[in-house]
Chains A and B, each alone.
Chain A
Amino acid sequence: MELESKIIKFLEDFLKEELGESIELSLESKLFGGEGPLDSMALVNLVVDLEELIEDDYGKTITLADEKAMSRRTSPFSRVQNLIDYVQEQLNSDNNE
């Protein structure tokens, strides 16, 4: 729950900074692809900023844009819920430190 609210707040702040407008997000909100608000460069910035946030707040170095993320049928970056699930998965993984 803490992770969920942290990521939603991060995304809302990020979108405000990136797009210059306030967007209230739900777990179903689209992020990238389709009608999502992010273009590819914004996605690059989001990945880097979010990795940094996780590093600072959880003391874990995670890699969000890895082969696993790219090869999934449902992209972790398509919706807010998918992204939260993916970050949680990465935090639970032993491959990250």
Chain B
Amino acid sequence: MSKIFLITGDRKGIGRSLSEHYLSQGNIVIGCSRSGSDLEHNNYEHLICDVGDEKSVKSLILHIRKKYKSIDVLINNAGMASMNHILTTPVSTFDKLVHTNLKGTFLFTREASKIMRGKGGSIVNFSTVASPLNLEGEAIYASTKAAVEKLTKISSHELSNYNIRVNCIGPTPVYTDLIKAVPKNKIEELLSRQAIKRLGTFDDVKNVIDFYCSNSSNFITGQIIYLGGI
């Protein structure tokens, strides 16, 4: 049976790939990002939204409630990365990372859950292997993702009464815009700490999200799965 997916940050990269994946299965997908998308499909709608802006998020969710009535799956994919030594990290970078990665995940979780309350749903958050690996140069990025992990754990308890499951995926680097500026030796250093030493692929990410969203996973909540073996 087709589901209604809400995927944040789906203009490109993993988000775009996820939108195409769930559309190809006959689902309805609502995507959002700060600028327009060229993805065209009868079951797709793209909305402009700054995920860390409360008014913007509330207005998007109101539109979805009126038009679609429900959301089955929320994928909090929108994210921002930054690599810098802590001594040279501008506070503006800190603010941007918290705004998008943490505040965005919180706002979408809160507002989408209000719609999901009726029949339940599944929320998937994005962390990173940089968090458990304590990667140098990723202090702020990994901190925001560590906070997303804690948000996942606690919201899974608070939302379980509404039959809403909340889980999290921690991908290894996947070749997207998010990592193209990261030096090659840094990526290799990271890969060497994984059990399976390779970059992740979009399919690796989809596989875990498919598992989380499956109706058979109705006993799976509050979990974090890291790719690659951490």
Q: Would you give the shortest CB distance from B118 to chain A, in whole angstroms? A: 11
What CA separation (Å) do A55 and B66 show in the bound complex?
11
Known interface pairs A41-B161, A55-B62, A61-B62. Does A97 touch B117 (Cβ–Cβ under 8 Å)?
no
Contacts of B59 in A (CB 8 A): 61, 97
Does B55 count as interface, using CB distance less than 8 angstroms?
Answer: yes
- CB pair A48–B161 under 8 Å, yes or no, is no
Q: Give the A-B contact count at a CB cut-off of 8 A.
A: 13
- CB pair B58–A48 under 8 Å, yes or no, is no
CB under 8 Å from chain A, chain B span 39-62: 55, 58-59, 62
What CA separation (Å) do A97 and B65 show in the bound complex?
17
Nearest B residue to A97 via CB reads: B55
Does A13 count as interface, using CB distance less than 8 angstroms?
Answer: no
Q: Would you give the shortest CB distance from B181 to chain A, in whole angstroms? A: 37
- CB pair B62–A48 under 8 Å, yes or no, is no
- CB pair A52–B114 under 8 Å, yes or no, is yes
CB-defined interface of A9-43 with B at 8 Å, one 1/0 digit per residue? 00000000000000000000000000000000100
Contacts of A52 in B (CB 8 A): 65, 114
Number of A residues with CB within 8 Å of any CB on chain B: 7
What CA separation (Å) do A6 and B58 show in the bound complex?
23
Known interface pairs A41-B161, A55-B62. Does A48 touch B55 (Cβ–Cβ under 8 Å)?
no
Contacts of B161 in A (CB 8 A): 41
What CA separation (Å) do A40 and B59 show in the bound complex?
27
Contacts of B55 in A (CB 8 A): 61, 97
Q: Would you give the shortest CB distance from B192 to chain A, in whole angstroms? A: 46
Contacts of B114 in A (CB 8 A): 48, 52
Q: Would you give the shortest CB distance from B108 to chain A, in whole angstroms? A: 15
Contacts of A45 in B (CB 8 A): 117
Residues of chain B touching chain A, judged by Cβ–Cβ distance below 8 Å, are 55, 58-59, 62, 65, 114, 117, 161
Extra pairs beyond A45-B117, A61-B62, A97-B59 (10, CB < 8 Å) = A41-B161, A48-B114, A48-B117, A52-B65, A52-B114, A55-B62, A61-B55, A61-B58, A61-B59, A97-B55
